[in-house]
Amino acid sequence: MILRSNSIIHYLPIRLDKRQFLILDAIRFSLEIIDNSWSNLLIQINDLSTQDSKIVKDLPKLYIEVWSIIDNLQRLINLHSRLNFSSQSDLMNPIEYIRDFRHTYQHLDERVDEAFIEFNIPIYGILTWNYSNLKTKKLEVIITSSGITRYKSQYSYDVANFNKNNLNQK
């Protein structure tokens, strides 16, 4: 849960300036969408991680949640900038890189020739995650692709800073 149930953003003062009230309320709602999409994503990742890889169903649902998170993070950045809090200008810096991802998703038709063809990357992307298989006690690297493999591509995936003690946890 991103926002605690007792967060002040759930109880905005009525006397707050109308503009600030609306922006803060939209920030709250964006955070709730992100939280919901993240929860759905974790459930779907767990389900996909335990399926036979030849029978994968509903892969688009996974990508819908990811792109929802990216889109709403960008919305959150934009809304926050409208508040004009100079003292908190660095608050959104750690997620500013989302802008390029979101721009690509929003303008897929314009980006086809820019990167996808050159690097043989499926247009909706590739998702990877680590899955701690409690039955086998092994770390499994799972890679999904939103496209059909037509050309040979070299993808690299780094399992960095993984704590082997986490193999006992989902």
Amino acid at 167: L
Summarize pLDDT for 78-104 with one digit per residue, the tens.
998 888 776 555 778 788 888 887 887
CB 62 within 8 Å of CB 127:
yes
Summarize pLDDT for 131-140 with one digit per residue, the tens.
888 888 888 8
Helices (H), the chain: 18-49, 59-82, 98-106, 108-111, 117-119
